């Protein structure tokens, strides 16, 4: 008889195999999309993908975040990121370790949170081990003392991202980076039904479409300003901070990038996308 743990592991492996197969079959469409994306970079010098580079982030978000704050400036220099795993590869590590920011990292796994806490000992970041839900997120922020108008919020929990951002009613970060589900292309307005105990099983059933997140952002006073080249994260800036510094603001069809998640470590080398800026080790 197969144990529940073994069955769960087998199901995850099966889903990963299916996911790789689906993306492999989609390579011709990816190439067509990639040519369009490259044209956008030459046609629009303000496109945030022109500024990508990787310090400690997974998909060159470091460069995009740096460029956003180059345009709008920094204020609190405080950041919060959910789903940081062991803290090795995050969107905020560069800011904390190299730029002297302070902030909060939240991770659901006790083992990963412990590793991240060790990594953060020398820097101005608190690490909290907590499984995030729409019901507890504001209390976590209040307990830690997160400023209401923090500079940066990064949400990456592979599931209830939309619902957690929606629940943050008392906080107004100037910039929000959030993972979108690129399997649902515009104009699909799709959100995963809320389930507090959700964990990602590697399927396409997670998070929310870019259209849905842009709709929520508009309701909360934000505008879409770009996505990363791997089709993973979307970048939103509070509308009172825009001041004409971004192109094609709020244009979902323009900013949508087809996902290349299973190929992101090799995509730029394979197809010639130059990664700008510093590259550092762990």
How many folded domains does the chain comprise?
Answer: 1
Model pLDDT, residue 262: 53
Q: pLDDT over 90 for what percent of the chain?
A: 67
Q: Which residues contact 232 (CB under 8 A, 6 or more apart)?
A: 58, 59, 179, 180, 182, 259, 261, 264
Residue 118 domain-assigned? yes
Measured distance CA(104)–CA(132) in Å, rounded: 13
Tokens 């929606």 identify what position? Answer: 166
- The CB density around residue 112, as the number of other CB atoms within 10 Å, is 18
pLDDT at position 200 over 90: no
pLDDT tens readout for residues 44-93: 999 999 999 999 998 899 999 999 999 999 999 999 999 899 999 999 99
How far is Cα 78 from Cα 92, in angstroms, rounded to an integer?
10
**230, 59 contact by CB (below 8 A):** yes
Q: Helix 4-25 and helix 27-43: axis angle, to 10°?
A: 60
**Residue 214: inside a domain:** yes
Cα separation, 70 vs 212, whole angstroms: 28
| Residue 212 pLDDT grade (very low, low, confident, very high; cuts 50, 70, 90) | very high
First to last CA, the chain: 42
Task: Give the domain range for residue 212.
Answer: 27-271
Question: How high is the pLDDT of residue 3?
Answer: 62
CATH of the domain at 149: 3.40.50.150
In a domain, 280, yes or no: no
Per the domain annotation, does 6 fall within a domain? no
Residues 237/246, Cβ–Cβ less than 8 Å: yes
Q: For residue 37, what pLDDT band results from cuts at 50, 70 and 90?
A: confident
208: DSSP letter: B
d(CA 139, CA 262): 35
Instruction: Specify if 16 maps to a domain.
Output: no
Q: How many residues does the chain have?
A: 282
State mean pLDDT over 152-161: 94
Q: Reading across the β-sheet that carries 222-227, which strands appear in turn?
A: 125-129, 102-107, 78-82, 152-155, 175-179, 233-238, 222-227
């Amino acid at each position: 008889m197969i144990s529940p743990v073994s069955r769960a592991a087998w199901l995850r492996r099966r889903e990963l195999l299916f996911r790789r197969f689906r993306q492999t079959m989609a390579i011709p469409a990816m190439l067509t999309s990639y040519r369009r994306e490259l044209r956008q970079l030459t046609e629009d010098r303000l496109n945030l993908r022109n500024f990508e580079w990787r310090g400690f982030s997974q998909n060159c978000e470091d460069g995009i975040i740096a460029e956003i704050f180059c345009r709008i400036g920094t204020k609190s220099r405080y950041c919060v990121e959910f789903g940081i795993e062991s803290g090795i590869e995050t969107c905020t590590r560069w800011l904390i370790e190299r730029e002297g920011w302070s902030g909060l990292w939240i991770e659901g796994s006790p083992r990963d949170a412990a590793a991240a806490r060790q990594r953060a000992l020398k820097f101005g970041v608190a690490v909290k081990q907590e499984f995030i839900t729409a019901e507890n997120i504001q209390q976590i922020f209040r307990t830690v003392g997160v400023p209401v108008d923090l500079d940066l919020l990064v949400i990456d929990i592979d599931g209830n991202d939309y619902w957690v951002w929606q629940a943050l009613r008392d906080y107004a970060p100037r910039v929000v980076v959030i993972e979108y589900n690129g399997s649902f292309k515009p104009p699909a307005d799709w959100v995963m039904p809320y389930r507090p105990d959700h964990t990602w099983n590697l399927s396409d059933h997670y998070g929310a479409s870019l259209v849905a997140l842009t709709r929520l952002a508009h309701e909360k006073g934000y505008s879409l300003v770009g996505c990363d080249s791997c089709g993973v994260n979307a970048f939103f800036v509070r509308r009172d901070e825009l001041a004409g510094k971004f192109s094609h603001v709020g244009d979902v069809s323009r900013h949508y990038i087809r996902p290349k998640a299973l190929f992101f470590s090799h995509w730029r080398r394979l197809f010639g996308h130059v990664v700008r800026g510093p590259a550092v080790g762990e």
